[in-house]
Amino acid sequence: MIFQIILLIMLAYVVGFIYMGLYRNITARIQGRYGPTVYQTFYDSIKLFSKKNSVSYGWMFYLGPVIMATGAVLTLILVPVFSDSDFLRSVTTQGNLFLLLYLMVLGPLGNALAVGTGGNPFGVMGVVRGLTRLIGLELPFYIAVVGLIIASNSSDIVHIIDLQKTTGLNILVHPFLFIAAMISMVGFFGASPFDIPGAPQEVYSGPRTEFSGKFLALLMSQGSIFAFAKLVLIIDLFLGGADSLWMLVIKTFAIFITIIFIGIVYGRYKVEQAVDFLMKIPTLIGVIGLVRIIWFG
């Protein structure tokens, strides 16, 4: 069991890094550049791990990235990556969708503690921007998730996946919810226009300002694992999950490329603009979907 989980984490790590590399590469291509190789993020990560030293402001600073990574890994093992694997199904039924919603925030909050300990006001500004943005960001996503839970009468992801085999994919059945969730996802990936927390022109790199060496490396690694987990969550909820590696890659890549394309063409919202926007259009779309489910479903 441990072996399987470690394998899963390795898979997420590799796929996540490649996706992150692709992200940079594709972005570069769209901008008319040659761009780095897809393995570039992997190089970055190894390089950071091999830094001679990394600053730390005490034990809480040390633990912050660890908590964040724990949150990401826990999220990963509670999302059914392969919908047909009995083992993963049994693990994922230990949790549910609500648990995931909170787990997804656990890491950032844990890291925020480390940022606070670091004592850099720019870092804390980043955190506060992030948390403020989260208010808006979570709203459409919550609406989508609640809609799905009510529509399938279960907060069990495996059950939601199974249900899509009979009723059809949720992306077709509940397109409004999908759109709302996708807009939130853009933000969860830190893509424009919702990338204000780490805006380098204003607050250094936001929460990550004081992190260096292995801590930064850990943050990057968990970021790619987490990104993978989020992608899997989206395909589980809306695209019926994946039963083979190929399906997994294709479906996640489809979602991923969408997010890249959205992210690349937009400028950056200020935090209040972001929340304002998220509270209006995606929320409205989500509510339409939700009302459709409750009153006409």
Q: Name the token pair of 228.
A: 């993978």
Q: Which amino acid is at 77?
A: I
Q: Are 183 and 275 in contact (CB under 8 A)?
A: no
* Cβ 258 vs Cβ 186: under 8 Å: no
- By the 8 A CB rule, do 107 and 72 touch? yes
205 binds another protein (CB under 8 A): yes
We find the least distance from the C-beta atom of residue 194 to another protein, in angstroms, to be 14
C-beta of 16 vs 251, nearer to another protein: 16
Those residues with Cβ within 8 angstroms of residue 279's Cβ, 6 or more apart along the chain or in another chain:
136, 139
Question: Which tokens is 68 given?
Answer: 């964040």
Q: How far is the CB of 147 from another protein (least distance, A)?
A: 7
Considering the rule CB under 8 A, would residue 212 count as an interface residue with another protein? yes
Show the tokens assigned to 120: 């850099």
Nearer to another protein among residue 18 and residue 251 (C-beta): 18
Q: Given the rule CB under 8 A, which of 138-146, 166-174, 185-193, 243-251 is the region that contacts another protein?
A: 138-146
Question: Taking CB under 8 A as the rule, does residue 266 contact another protein?
Answer: no
| DSSP code for 210 | T
**Per residue in 16-30, is it b (16+ CB within 10 Å) or e — as a string?**
bbbbbbbbbbbbeee
Site string for another protein, 159-188 (x = CB under 8 A): x-----------------------------
Q: Which 94-123 residues touch another protein, going by CB under 8 A? A: 94-99, 101-103, 105-106, 109, 112-113, 116-122
Amino acid in position 161 = I
Residue list 14-73, contact with another protein (CB under 8 A): 24, 28, 31-36, 40, 43-44, 46-47, 49-58, 60, 62-63, 65-67, 69-70, 73
- For Cα atoms 169, 21, 127, give the angle at the middle one, nearest 5 degrees: 85
Residue nearer to another protein on the CB measure, 3 or 34 = 34
Binding another protein (rule: CB under 8 A), the pick from 18, 81, 88, 127 is 127
- Of 42, 35, 34, 40, the C-alpha closest to 10 is 42
Q: Say whether residue 258 binds another protein (CB under 8 A).
A: no
CB of 254 to another protein, least distance (A): 25
Strand, helix or coil at 95? coil
Q: Does the footprint of another protein cover residue 148 (CB under 8 A)?
A: no
**Residues 195 and 268: beta-carbon distance below 8 Å:** yes
CB of 134 to another protein, least distance (A): 6
Closest to another protein by CB, 155 or 251: 155
Q: Rule CB under 8 A: which of 215-254 touch another protein?
A: 215-216, 218
Span near another protein by CB under 8 A; candidates 135-143, 184-192, 236-244, 251-259: 135-143
Three-class DSSP category at 94: coil
